[in-house]
Amino acid sequence: MKSRQLALPGVFLLEPEVYGDARGFFFESFNHAQFAAIVGRDVGFVQDNHSRSARNVLRGLHYQVGQPQGKLTRVIAGAVFSAVVDLRRSSPAYGKWVGTTLSAENRHQLWIPEGCAHGFLALAEGTEFLYKTTDYYAPRHERCIAWNDPTLAIAWPTQGPPILSPRDAQGQHWEDAETFE
């Protein structure tokens, strides 16, 4: 598996080695030892999540305080633009964001460490997004930053207004967000 750290510390893009022939393809989507070597620590996952989205659905920017979650994300149908915001005050990239495209075609995965907010925009109809988490979903610790916060100025590749959940439409401003040490 190839990997490269993106512009935020600890955020990695993972590119699996895919073996294909006339029958189809095979790739190892997760290997604990390889993953630990890439991210520089032993990571345990406790929950797998799967969402399906129509084109132009935007989910996020989500994170949890109290029970922060690291997320290993990938797309198995369609494509997303995935954005990560660094909420770690001790990070040299605090308040910065990075974005990348994950798709069923490129089979890339994105590791988002604890202390970051994450959101994605579905770029295709019927996009299916999978992610593993390092801690359980905890509604009381869940937070949401506005996807269109002017301070963050994330360059979402939207085609018209995105489709948002009521909660995501009410995301808080960056300056009001709870952050991490």
> Does 20 map to a domain?
no
* CATH number for 163: 2.60.120.10
pLDDT tens, the chain, 181 aa long:
999 999 999 999 999 999 999 999 999 999 999 999 999 999 999 999 999 999 999 999 999 999 999 999 999 999 999 999 999 999 999 999 999 999 999 999 999 999 999 999 999 999 999 999 999 999 999 999 999 999 999 999 998 999 999 999 999 999 999 999 9
140 occurs within a structural domain: yes
CA distance 179 to 174: 10
User: What letter does residue 176 receive in the DSSP assignment?
Assistant: G
**pTM score, two decimals?**
0.96
Catalytic residue ranges: 62, 131
Determine the structural domain holding residue 109 and report its residue range.
44-176
Does some domain include residue 31?
no
Question: What is the tally of structural domains in the chain?
Answer: 1
| Contact assessment for residue 145 and residue 174, using Cβ atoms and an 8 Å cutoff | yes
